[in-house]
Chain A
Amino acid sequence: MAKLLSLSLLVVGMSLAQPVGPTAPIPIRKAPEIDPGQAAGALALLSVGILIIRRKK
């Protein structure tokens, strides 16, 4: 199972490393259409949510 997960993540990692293009299907490569501040805010919210969900105290 770990192999399957490793493989999945690597495939995703490889896909994310594709060139920037107007029709590239993975969103975070479509830099011109994404406001970095917006993306940072959204990912910060997700991170904070995860820290709260996985809190120990």
Chain B
Amino acid sequence: MDPFRQAVRPAAVFSVAGDVLSLGLVQRITLFVLLFGAEWIPILALFPPGTGGRFVFRLGVVCASLFLTLGCASFRSISRELEKTPIGSGFLIGHACAVLAFILLSSVLLGDTPGTAPAYVIVPSRYIAAILAVGLAGFALVPPRLAWRVIRADGSAWAYALPAGLIAWALTQLPFGDSIWNGPFWRPATDLTFYMVSALLHLFLPQVVADRATMTIGAPDFAVTIGDGCSGWEGTALMLVFSVAWLCVGWREFRMPRALLMVPVAMVVMWTSNAVRIAALILIGVAGAPHIAMNGFHSEAGWITFNCVALGFAVASRRVPWFALRTPEPPSRRTFAGSSTVAYLLPFLALLAAAMISRAASGGFEWLYPLRLIAVAAVLWFLRPNYAGLDWRFGSLSLILGGVVFAIWLALGRFLVTHTDNGIASGLSLWPASARIAWLVCRTAAAVTTVPVAEELAFRGFLIRRLISGDFESISPRKYTYFSVLLSSIAFGLLHGSYWLPGTMAGVFYAVAFLRRGRIGDAVVAHATTNALLAAWVLWSGNWSLW
């Protein structure tokens, strides 16, 4: 039976494709961003940097941010109306024409053989075409009548927000602003981080080398230079984005305006934790592992810190009665383990967390990879009663689909992906044979067992249905929308870094395996088949970059 016949049939009409899709505000903004992402890449490739090619994309990002922000106030009512509104094919055609006009005008302006029209006509026309491209794409997804309602949903907030945003943008564009933004303005921040790291190191090291002029700090045998990028502004800026977005999403759950105090608190914690991260990096280097300090730890510790602070902020904001209107009961071990959301997602969370820790502890070769196997296996064992009710049976088609994905992975990887040395060959060559075999067994076992189970539970078992309804358990495992399959597959693909395209295609194939009979076993076996064939290929060919 064709699995796509089981698709959910909501009320709205997707007129362009002639099919039926239900698209709310978030889905439409996602489509808007994807559309501009797809157009931006070829446009950037066409024109040299600094010639205004990024203008259209920037404008698209700003418009999407504006709509997402202002749309929060009347999200539900707007979304409900949008679900009944077809995508405006006329506006979409107009958008395509405007993009083409922009490219043609850019070619005339920047090409080797300039046209006869004067620049004072071409330049403004080019910018008008860009603005039209953004506007028409926006109106195709959100009709002008509803767009005006989104803008007016928060009264005249847009009238304050737009000039403020434009000023902020200008500060990053003008030569004067750029010198403020990137120059000496941030020096005091770097100084503060420098002194905090110095104070922390004095707690552990008998002799600390600290040169304020060059921002070099450490011990006599291992020291680092704190660059502008390490001053802590990066993580603090991300924390600002996260904390404000978190408060927006749960607006009615918090005591306003006092809950806003959490934003600077979170930023200060993030700032301080950056100094702790740099101090820890130096201590790891001093302890005799400079490769780990400068490679794995340097690149991963920032993300680990950000995740810890952000998730800690999210939990604390709901638990502290002074900030939260209703504080939920702390979950007992029994209620936590009995939650279906936890059962579907915690193995994947454990996989991601173990991967970050494992990479942070590596100096090129990920020697701690078995941690991924152990962490996921432990979570699956802890939650095992939840999985008894799932359908783990599988059919032969799953094996075939897994094999097809393997072939696609190899073929696309060969042509589209630049292979880099992941250090496995050189790392293993330094180990004794027994340790080498044990690592390879763990690596293969994780690829064939725990990784497919954790990822299929999260992406196919949970995400496809969660994108249809917040109450995902009320949705049959055989039901889906094209949007839910596509978005869950793209999310799955993006997790695979440079293999994002074969990863996305793999996501679609595993979704077909899952949706055909609504059995998680089919998706897991298809995924495990791919990984088993890939492992066999790697071990046979010695092409370690595929791992």
A residues with a Cβ closer than 8 A to B are: 1-19, 21, 23-28, 30, 33, 35-42, 44-46, 48-57
Contacts and interface: CB of A to CB of B under 8 A. Distances in A.
Chain A binding site: helix, strand, loop or mixed by DSSP?
helix
A55 B495 CA distance: 23
9 contacts: A1-B256, A6-B154, A6-B158, A11-B164, A18-B169, A19-B173, A26-B237, A42-B356, A55-B342
Contacts of B69: 5-6, 9-10, 13
A5 B495 contact: no
A25 B311 contact: no
Nearest to A16: B61
B510 interface: no
A27 B157 contact: no
Nearest to B253: A54
Chain B binding site: helix, strand, loop or mixed by DSSP?
helix
B157 A49 contact: no
A45 to B, nearest CB: 4
Contact of A38 (B157, B300, B314): B300
B307 A37 contact: no
Contacts of A46: 242, 306-307, 310-311
A19 B54 contact: yes
B96 to A, nearest CB: 23
Q: What 6 pairs between A and B have smallest CB-CB spacing? A: A37-B497, A13-B65, A27-B234, A42-B303, A55-B341, A18-B172
A13 B169 CA distance: 9
Contact of A3 (B160, B242, B471): B160
A13 B244 contact: no
Given A17-B61, A37-B496, 18 more contacts: A3-B157, A4-B260, A5-B248, A10-B66, A10-B164, A10-B165, A14-B62, A17-B169, A19-B172, A25-B233, A30-B229, A35-B497, A38-B299, A41-B356, A46-B310, A48-B352, A51-B341, A57-B341
Interface stretch (B77-85, B131-139, B343-351, B537-545): B343-351
B245 interface: yes
Contact of A41 (B244, B355, B471): B355
B305 to A, nearest CB: 10
Nearest to A18: B172
A6 B161 CA distance: 7
Contacts of B168: 11, 14-15
A10 B498 contact: no
B440 interface: no
A56 B471 contact: yes
A52 B158 CA distance: 33
A22 B310 CA distance: 26
A57 B303 contact: no
A16 B429 CA distance: 44
Interface in B153-194: 154-155, 157-158, 160-162, 164-166, 168-169, 172-173, 181-182, 186
B451 to A, nearest CB: 13
Contacts of B495: 37, 40-41, 44
A25 to B, nearest CB: 5
Nearest to B250: A54
Contacts of A48: 345, 348-349, 352, 458
Contacts of A7: 157, 160-161, 164-165
B70 interface: yes
B62 A17 contact: yes
Contacts of A18: 169, 172-173
Given A49-B307, A57-B340, A11 B496 contact: no
